[in-house]
A and B are shown apart, each in its own frame.
Chain A
Amino acid sequence: MCDLFALSAKTNFSAPKALPLFAFRASKNMDGWGIGYFRKGHAFVEKSAQRVYMPDRVHDSYQRLARVVSSRIIISHVRFRTSGAVDECHAHPFVLNFCGSDWLFAHNGKAPAIETYRTQGEVVAGAASDSARAFEYLRDQMISLCRKSAAPLPLFDLVSQGTARMIEEYPGDYNYLLSNGLVIFAFTNHRQFMLLEGSRKLEGGLLLTTLEKGLSDEKWLRMARSSSAQGLMLAVSGTDVVVRRSL
Chain B
Amino acid sequence: MNGSADVAVSQHPSGGALGGTATLCLTQDPEPFYQGVRQIMCDVLAISAGHNYTPKQYLPLFAERGRGNMDGWGIGFFREGQALVETSPEQVYPGYQVHESFQRLARVIDSRIIIAHVRCSLSGHHRGDSHPFTLDFLDHSWLFAHVGVVEGIDQYRTRNEPRLEVEVYSARIFEYLRDQLLSLYPMNPYLSLYTALGVGVERLVSEYPGHYAFFLANESVIFAFCNFRQFLLLREAETVGDILLITTVEEGLSPNNWFALRPEEGSRGTMLVVAGPELLHLGKV
Contact = CB atoms under 8 A, between A and B. Distances in A.
Contact of B9 (A151, A156, A197, A241): A151
B189 interface: yes
Interface in A148-206: 148-157, 180-183, 197-198
B204 interface: no
Interface string B226-253: 0000000101000001100000000000
Contact of A240 (B24, B26, B193): B193
Q: Kindly name the residue among B26, B193, B278 whose own CB sees the greatest number of chain A CB atoms within 10 A.
A: B278
A10 interface: yes
Q: Kindly name the residue among A41, A151, A197 whose own CB sees the greatest number of chain B CB atoms within 10 A.
A: A151
Given A100-B242, A240-B220, A152 B192 contact: no
A239 interface: yes
A243 B18 CA distance: 29
A40 interface: yes
A58 to B, nearest CB: 30
B190 interface: yes
A198 B140 CA distance: 12
B193 A242 contact: yes
A155 B235 CA distance: 14
Interface string B130-155: 00000000011000000000000000
B259 interface: yes
Contacts of A241: 192-193
Interface in A92-134: 100
B18 A10 contact: no
Contacts of A156: 273, 280-281
A223 interface: yes
Contacts of B26: 151
B278 A221 contact: no
Interface residues of A, number: 34
Contacts of A152: 9, 233, 235, 259, 279
A238 interface: yes
Contact of A151 (B24, B195, B242): B24
A79 to B, nearest CB: 29
B104 to A, nearest CB: 26
Contact of B278 (A180, A197, A245): A180
A242 B273 contact: yes
B81 A242 contact: no
Contacts of A41: 50-51, 241
A78 interface: no
A183 B50 CA distance: 10
B281 A243 contact: yes
B57 interface: no
15 contacts: A11-B80, A149-B21, A150-B18, A151-B11, A152-B279, A155-B279, A181-B50, A182-B276, A182-B278, A221-B190, A223-B190, A235-B275, A238-B218, A240-B218, A243-B273
Given A151-B24, A152-B259, A235-B275, 15 more contacts: A11-B81, A41-B241, A149-B21, A151-B11, A151-B19, A153-B279, A154-B5, A155-B278, A155-B280, A156-B273, A183-B275, A235-B281, A242-B221, A243-B193, A244-B192
